[in-house]
């Protein structure tokens, strides 16, 4: 195996690690966004519950309940995206690990093929 071939293998591994890092960052951003929205939904739900426990149900209290419902749906969607991004990062990391192992094996082979290259 030539030095050029080994370098290509190393570059492929590095590219995959970069992609994995970006996917992991995206998953983290989505998780933080979901946490923020979750806190907002919790607060709105508390307000809506208090409003609906009143003597009469008003148009405003129904609107609050609808807003909570819609934001809860948004939260579920956001959480799903975060899970998918995390799974994608896991898959890319596994590929990067494999690519790194191939690069290491390539380097070992190169050192056998070209012992003077030490």
Quote the pTM value. Answer: 0.80
Neighbour count for residue 43 (Cβ, 10 Å): 11
Torsion of CA 24, 68, 49, 35, to 10 degrees: 10
What residue segments make up the domains of the chain, in order of their start? 3-113
Q: Are 80 and 72 in contact (CB under 8 A)?
A: no
Question: Looking at per-residue confidence, does 2 or 118 come out higher?
Answer: 2
Query: Residue 118: is its pLDDT beyond 70?
Result: no
In this prediction, residue 47 carries a pLDDT of 87
pLDDT in tens, 16-62: 999 999 999 999 999 999 999 999 999 999 988 888 887 688 888 88
């Amino acid at each position: 195996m030539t030095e050029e071939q080994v370098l290509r293998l190393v570059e492929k591994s590095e590219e995959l690690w970069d992609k994995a890092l970006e996917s992991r960052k995206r998953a983290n951003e989505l998780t933080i966004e979901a946490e923020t929205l979750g806190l907002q939904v919790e607060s709105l739900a508390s307000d809506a519950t208090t409003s609906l426990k009143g003597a009469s149900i008003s148009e405003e209290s129904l609107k609050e309940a609808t807003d909570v419902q819609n934001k809860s749906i948004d939260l579920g969607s956001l959480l799903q995206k975060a899970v998918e991004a995390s799974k994608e990062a896991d898959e890319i990391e596994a590929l990067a690990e494999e690519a790194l192992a191939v690069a290491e094996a390539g380097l070992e082979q190169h050192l056998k093929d070209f012992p003077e290259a030490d």
